[in-house]
Amino acid sequence: MAITHWNPYSELATVQDQMNRLFRNIWGGGQRDEADYGAWMPAVDLREEEKQYVIEADLPGVKKDDIEINIENNVLSLSGERRFENEEKKDAYHRIERTYGKFMRSFTLPVRVDTEKVSATYKDGILEVKVPKTEESLPKKIKVQG
């Protein structure tokens, strides 16, 4: 017999999430958010470099054609799907620990980025999205005269 710790707040949070989705669907026009997509969210690193922002997402097992990147109202959204490959097994027991399904991650971009020059590369299960800063937002050195 295993003893587990019961946390009533986690159940309340689940109920609250479900209620929020219900009301959002009724009054919110059916907009989808990250919680509506699936059971997994890829790990993401965000970093700022001198001339750009870089977003790296771990997407092992996701095909390049199953990834979508959108920018709307200064929000960058990564979405896609990791599909379960159906395999025939002769064993009576089958264990699946990896998570499959749709995912979505959204990030609010700083105002001074050049959305027309955003680029993305995908290699070895890592998606890298580069978001360049505008010229106005780059640091400038001012020479002191005297």
Q: Does any domain span residue 89?
A: no
Instruction: Report which of residues 26 and 107 the model is more confident about.
Output: 107
Q: How far apart are CA 53 and CA 110, in angstroms?
A: 9
DSSP three-state, residue 109: coil
Q: Does any domain span residue 7?
A: no
DSSP secondary structure string for all residues of 88-106: ---SS-----S--EEEEEE
Q: Does any domain span residue 23?
A: no
For the chain, give percent helix, strand, coil, nearest 5: 20, 35, 45
Q: Identify the CATH number of the domain in which residue 111 sits.
A: 2.60.40.790
pLDDT at 101 over 60: yes
Domain ranges, residue 132: 34-84+99-138
- Dump pLDDT digits (tens) for 8-38: 666 666 777 777 777 766 665 545 555 555 5
pLDDT band at 5 (very low <50, low <70, confident <90, very high): low
- Dump pLDDT digits (tens) for 116-132: 999 999 999 999 999 99
- For residue 50, CA distances in Å to 54, 126, 129 come to 11, 22, 15
Best CA proximity match to 62, nearest among 77, 44, 42? 42
Output the average pLDDT for the chain.
80
pLDDT of residue 74: 86
- Burial, 76: exposed, middle or buried (Cβ in 10 Å; 0-12, 13-18, 19+)? buried
Q: Calculate mean pLDDT across residues 32-58.
A: 81
Q: Does any domain span residue 113?
A: yes
Q: Does any domain span residue 80?
A: yes
Q: Does any domain span residue 64?
A: yes
What is the model's pTM? 0.65
Q: Does any domain span residue 132?
A: yes
What percent of the chain shows pLDDT beyond 70?
Answer: 71
Q: Calculate mean pLDDT across residues 80-92.
A: 70
Domain total in the chain: 1
DSSP secondary structure string for all residues of 129-146: EEEEBPGGGS--------
First-to-last alpha carbon distance for the chain, in angstroms, is 81
Q: Does any domain span residue 72?
A: yes
